[in-house]
Structure 1
Amino acid sequence: MPELPEVEALKEFLRDHLVGREIERVLPAAISVLKTYDPPLTALEGRTVTAVERHGKFLDIDTGGPHLVTHLARAGWLRWYDRLPEGVPRPGKGPLALRVAVESGAGFDLTEAGTQKRLAVYVTETPEEIPGIARLGPDPLAPDFDEKRFADLLSGERRQIKGALRDQSLIAGIGNAYSDEILHAARMSPFRLTSSLTKEEIHGLHVALLDTLNQAVERSHGVAAGRLKAEKKSGLRVHGRTGEPCPVCGDTIREVSFADSSLQYCPTCQTGGKLLADRRMSRLLK
């Protein structure tokens, strides 16, 4: 799933390639991805892109009027073309969900792999009216996301820290992969309760959160859209690396699987050598 660093990189890429260009056509290939009907997709045609912004994991293309907003969900992606393929995309064929063409002949496709179709596209005059954006918590890259604000957010919570970091209404933009990376950097169990964290642990977690995200953004800076997935994977130290040695201590990276996701952690670095039970109601094995 694209998370804050990848969507931030896509934002920067599209700013360089789209701002100042006129949208010529917007062609849906999978009607299910369109979550709004007023304004219609055609309201974007003939408009010039004035800005590209990010709201958590939402990408926002502003035309100075209607905004084209997308959430790439778990298996969605954006593929840029300096010259779009000829012809009109055929609905229901392959992973293509939406094509946007600009007057220069360039443009991009929104695609989604797999059978679970969750990619979402909105056309709106006000992005803040989109429910997923309206409920977003603060952005961790914002200048005012300091340690006090982070501590205040956690102070009202009593749940596992892994779930808290992934809650978009608490903190915007962090998903499954980077929450694993942050907790590994902080040397903290994913099942540690937020209410049990000391002031020193909150400080360490805040530092780990900012360092992890900023380093990922820096790695992705200037990377072409088509290479961002590979860049993300290459930079991950524990997530998706079950069975590999921890790059810090050399212990074997372990996994906890859930119904539709999994997490990875290092027992030595994060749980005092104890293994986490691999079941939905996971607890530390005695």
Structure 2
Amino acid sequence: MPESPEVQALVEFLEERAVGRRVGEVDVLEFRTVKTRQTPPSTLAGMPITGAERHGKHVALAFSDDTTLVVSLGRHGWMRWREPGDEAPAVADAPPALALFVLDGGETIEVTDAGTWVSLGLHVVDDAIAVPAVAKLGPDPAGSAFSPNDFDVALGGRRKQIKAILQEQESLAGIGNAYSDEILHTAKVSPVVHASVLDADARERLYAATVGTVRGAIDARRGIPIHELKAAKVAAMRVHGRAGETCPVCGDTIRDFSFASTTAQYCPTCQTGGSVL
């Protein structure tokens, strides 16, 4: 699942390479991706790209004439950059392209989806906020204005598992399954504890871990080619995806726990007082 550090690196790549370029041909190969039927992506042909922004896990490309393409990456979506003459993606077993945006220099932005069902969405709107999922986003821990008060409001006194809240885009924008595991491990908090029972010290640790993990990952991903970002993310994980391996902090065995519709990797010694979930 794309999360804010990798999406931010993607946006910065597009800002450097695509802004100032004009879109020539637009080819949508999977029409289920089109969410604005009155203004399909084909209406962008001939228009210059004037800006690139991230909204949570969404990419927004601004065009002239107050038009914005919002790419909702969903669970398995991503974007590829193809130079003129490139015949194949830069990585093996690359996901299929569902839409193509050919630029005036012959480069192509490919919008891809690796899932067995289409989670990707393409919206052509006047402003990114017109996309409901963007309008509902909570505060973004990557932003300089994100404060402890924003975090406290997101957690509130809710009787809901903290891992679920961290991934809830309406509460905190940009965090998914992987970074929520990393945040909770850093903060030494169980993934299944409810926000309502966290004391002040645990909340402070969680706030610091959330900001530090997200912002640190954004810094670490800058400059990495976009086709290598997924591998870089996987390599950087301390507990997520590491079940059966040794905790780098205490030496205990990292465990896997499934609940609701998600999974968590955690360290019993660091996070649950030695209890195995």
> Which residue number corresponds to residue 57 of structure 1?
57
Q: TM-score with structure 1 length normalisation?
A: 0.90
**Which portions of structure 1, spanning 4 or more consecutive aligned residues, are displaced by more than 4 angstroms?**
none
Verify the 8 A CA contact 1:38 1:124 in the aligned structure 2: no
Verify the 8 A CA contact 2:82 2:108 in the aligned structure 1: yes
Shift of 1:260: 4.8
Unaligned runs of 5+ in 1: 87-93, 277-286
1:80 aligns with 2:47: no
> Which residue number corresponds to residue 18 of structure 1?
18
Which stretch of structure 1 is more off in the superposition, 155-164 or 180-189? 155-164
Verify the 8 A CA contact 2:2 2:57 in the aligned structure 1: yes
String of CA shifts for 1:181-237, please: whole Å, max 9, x gaps: 000000000011101111111111110001111111111001111110011001111
**Correspondences of 1:121-140 after superposition (within 5 Å):** 121-140=122-141
Q: Give the distance between the partners of 2:237 and 2:12, measured in 1 at CA.
A: 21
1:161 aligns with 2:168: no
Going from structure 1 to structure 2, the CA distance change for 1:261 and 1:161 (only over 3 Å counts) comes to closer
Letter paired with 1:111: T
Unaligned runs of 5+ in 2: 88-94
Residues matched between the structures, number: 269
String of CA shifts for 1:135-172, please: whole Å, max 9, x gaps: 11111122221112212322252211111111100111
Q: Could you say what secondary structure the match of 2:256 adopts?
A: strand
Verify the 8 A CA contact 1:43 1:66 in the aligned structure 2: no
String of CA shifts for 1:43-64, please: whole Å, max 9, x gaps: 2111111100011000001013
Going from structure 1 to structure 2, the CA distance change for 1:196 and 1:156 (only over 3 Å counts) comes to closer
Coordinate RMSD, CA, aligned: 1.5
Going from structure 1 to structure 2, the CA distance change for 1:274 and 1:19 (only over 3 Å counts) comes to same
Letter paired with 2:169: Q
Q: Give the distance between the partners of 2:232 and 2:76, measured in 1 at CA.
A: 16
Q: Give the distance between the partners of 2:85 and 2:76, measured in 1 at CA.
A: 22
Verify the 8 A CA contact 2:70 2:128 in the aligned structure 1: yes
> Which residue number corresponds to residue 266 of structure 2?
265
> Which residue number corresponds to residue 33 of structure 2?
33
Q: Could you say what secondary structure the match of 1:14 adopts?
A: helix
Q: Give the distance between the partners of 2:41 and 2:215, measured in 1 at CA.
A: 34
> Which residue number corresponds to residue 90 of structure 1?
none
Verify the 8 A CA contact 1:80 1:107 in the aligned structure 2: yes
Q: Give the distance between the partners of 1:257 and 1:151, measured in 2 at CA.
A: 26
